[in-house]
Amino acid sequence: MTERMMTLAAVEQLCLRALTSAGAGEDNAAAVARSTMLAERDGIRSHGLLYVPIYAEHVRCGKVDGKALPVVSQPRSGAVVVDAGTGFAHPAIDAGWDRFIAAARQNGIAAMTVFNSYNCGVLGHHAERIAEAGLLGLCTTHAPASIAPPGGRVPVIGTNPFALGVPEVGGVALVLDQSASKVAKSEILLRSREGRPIEPGWAIDEHGAATLDPAAALKGSMLPAGGHKGFGVGLLVEILASCLSGAVLSKDASPFSGTAGGAPRTGQCFIAFDTSAFSTAFSHQVASLLDAIAAQANARLPGAGRQAARQRTEGEGVLVDADLVNRIDALCR
């Protein structure tokens, strides 16, 4: 694979041009382009430029309405609901964001659900955004089914990540972002496109046998992290992001890849806490907890790898697959 260096601004502009060329509205494309840039900035290639051709393809075929106008409602003082209108999740989240944050500050706690939406990018970035507002954030999103229940082989839930954004005075103390599966499905997709095998214990094929072939894994089932406990985490996310939001279940959602099946109509659920409404000792307790982790030799806080990548790429730019960039450039023309 030939690589080339790009600035983060160039990554964002490339994605913006590709999506608007495909027919997405400027505001919708801008929200997705920023998310793509942030993924590349933090070294999460599986959610970065790799997805841009898929996004563009889905706008062109109508699997995503690139010109969707999200509809925001607030049925209760602490409840914000957004209908993404089968458009991208990013602009739908943005549409309800200010009401959501204001509701959390007013009530001490608030939730925002999004339905009729699509892939929301790196979930941890939304949790970090809540923490940047000085609130404790818990975010969930589900996805088309890719994990079978323990003992089964037919997927019923998605990789279903959750993310926690923890504030500290003047910034963000911690962002925890993990999925119910041993690895993000986009990582298997990346390995498939690069012709590399996956790792042992990541997935089974459609017959229930262990596999290192990413193509067979994509036809089979990903394995949950921690066995039945990981599947339980995935169910928790499914209840919040799908059932509570009114989105379709993961088992009924069309794939985030390919053109078949129509709009996925998946959902998200974000919860924000104003910690001062519950405890005056929150920041002190968090600092003590994180200090106890950091004080141990070779111990690493969740998100440390992303922070290291961020510090590097903000100054140097990012190395990207030159062939992928050429494919995206072609979409712009």
What residues are labeled active site?
A: 46-47, 187
DSSP-based three-state secondary structure for 150 = coil
The one-letter code for the residue type at 19 is L
Which residues 6+ apart lie within 8 Å of 155 measured at CB? 145, 146, 147, 148, 221, 222, 250, 251
DSSP-based three-state secondary structure for 157 = strand
- What are the b/e assignments for 28-44, b being 16+ CB within 10 Å? bbbbbbbbbbbbbbbbb
DSSP state of 223: P
Give the CA distances from residue 98 to residues 89, 94, 232, 235, 305, in Å, rounded to whole numbers and listed in that order: 16, 8, 32, 29, 30
How far apart (Å, rounded) are the C-alpha atoms in residues 185 and 203?
Answer: 10
User: What phi and psi, each to the nearest 5 degrees, are found at residue 168?
Assistant: -140, 170
DSSP-based three-state secondary structure for 108 = coil
Residue 273 CA, distance from chain mean position: 21
End-to-end CA distance of the chain: 24
